[in-house]
Chains A and B, each alone.
Chain A
Amino acid sequence: MARQLYRRYQLELLPAMAIYMAVMILLWPQVAKVDALWLKWLLALLPMLPLGLAILAMVRLVLRSDELEQRTHLIGLAVAAALVAFLSMAGGFLASARLVKMDGSILIWVLPVLVLAYAFVRGWAARRMGGSALCDEDAFRIRRWLLPIAIVLAGVIGIWHAQMSDYLIGLLSGVAFGFALGGVAWLYGRWRDRGYASARKD
């Protein structure tokens, strides 16, 4: 029986991310509108619940992976952690020297930068081993939909931006950018794989 590793990963990750988006669009903006302190804390930390599920899905993916896949995960995570630590230290020095003003909300960027760097480096490491992290064979074919979804989201923002809050525009723009980036990475991977396949035929 096939391992279905990435299919299982997507089955765990996608609902978590859908819940995360629903929480961020519907519930998180209410933080500023409620009075009770405990409710503010609850709403502010609510996104951590689906994010925790997403991180659990990532941990399970690594644990279920075979030894070569675990090696590429490790290379990706190690380089990503080093990059985030480096950027954090640079930011910390700049803020301490009062050259740049930063508040705590910048911490929100730690996970996206970590995930992006990890995905990029893991893809590079997998490719060096003759594989591809961009075209996992047992995954659902959702990557081809990333660019169309990004375009639709950009269209939605363009048409209805007047009715949207700055928060919602920022959130949807970030999601659209992430989807577009994923779609471009997928197209690039396919282009590279086709070039490699035709070179092997020649």
Chain B
Amino acid sequence: MQNRVRELREKHAWSQAELGERLDVSRQTINAIETGKYDPSLPLAFKIARLFGSRIETIFLDGEK
């Protein structure tokens, strides 16, 4: 699944570690989400959307469409 997490994080000038702290996950988890190696659970995806003040479907994009 594609996502805009890296783009939004860079917009806020946060490092992966900083974003990880805000979401209470590790830097490796942020890296895995950004590189598309790991799709977050629904609760974490909603947490990410809340943090960036966006709707979940504008951050996580359905690559099959």
Contact = CB atoms under 8 A, between A and B. Distances in A.
* Same complex origin of A and B: yes
Interface of A: 1-3, 5, 66-69, 71, 126, 128-132, 137
16 contacts: A2-B17, A3-B21, A3-B24, A3-B26, A66-B25, A66-B26, A67-B29, A68-B29, A68-B32, A129-B32, A129-B38, A130-B28, A130-B31, A130-B32, A130-B35, A137-B27
Contact of A132 (B24, B28, B29): B28
Interface bin, chain B:
10 to 19
Nearest to A138: B26
Contacts of A128: 37
Given A130-B28, A131-B26, A131-B31, 11 more contacts: A3-B21, A3-B26, A67-B44, A68-B38, A69-B28, A129-B28, A130-B31, A130-B32, A131-B28, A132-B28, A137-B27
Interface in B9-65: 17, 20-21, 24-29, 31-32, 35, 37-38, 40-41, 44
A66 B24 contact: yes
Nearest to B21: A2
Given A128-B37, A129-B38, A130-B37, A67 B31 contact: no
B28 A126 contact: yes
B32 to A, nearest CB: 4
Contacts of A66: 24-26, 29
B33 to A, nearest CB: 8
A67 B21 contact: no
A128 B62 CA distance: 23
B37 A129 contact: yes
